[in-house]
Structure 1
């Protein structure tokens, strides 16, 4: 028994030091040299931090573009999805409520035209981006509320669309809304 116990204790202590102390310190050190020093990329307006580039935020006012719904109410400390299957009656009811709400706030929009991402939450519940089509379907509502030209807002969406050669194009909702507020 002694033959196995001492090596086991030694190995456990070594792994605790390597994986519990050295590795976390190494990762924290590397993060210190990353953009944002490991604290994320903040977005500031007039010197005030208004959000993070990689974390979605809740926009409920109709004068703003809205992002994906969040199963965790955009709480970054509790990231996660609903974990309900597409056949779950509660999930279907939630999606239908989101469709009805979207159509009420965007008159003239057909349910079939609403991009799925505007009525379904992401796996993390914190997606900061939407597709250009999800932004475009909201343009008419925003133009009407803000008394702005539809073409100007469409141009703003195009200017804030990140083109990707690897994945789909995307629009950061927070950055787009900040630019929208800057429009006169």
Structure 2
């Protein structure tokens, strides 16, 4: 009888350890999106500048225009799990067919495709605070604001409206150390399956 009780106790302990480790790993992975802002901008404080060589061989700063996404996010688990995320997580947009088409119609390429070399992309993370809230931004260059020999001029603001109207037709993907940890619908801000 004593061996039987010990066997049951061991089994219960093993099940509870597995449950604890599962909840801990879920706790480590979770983010939620509180809010998203999307705009077309040439604000160098948000998207930076590009160094381009002019006709005389001198490097000059050129402001691009970009499709800019800003996500207000919240960590779901304990703050200690996320302390190094500023350096370890990455974000990107995966467009649906409407957004791809809008990009191609507007600037001539799918700016979300990492294979193209016509325009740059960027990403930033504002450190998560004690309330576990922070900001992640992603942008995709659409062309330069002034004529130059390296980057095509950006389309007019009127033409870029088509792209901005379709900008939430896709998903935000978050990776940590190259492993996907979250995928979110840009319209509903809900977590979705891969």
In which range does the TM-score fall when normalised by the shorter chain?
Answer: under 0.3
Q: Which structure carries more strand by proportion?
A: 2
Q: Which has the higher helix share?
A: 1
Normalising by structure 1, we get a TM-score of 0.27
Output the TM-score relative to the length of structure 2. 0.26
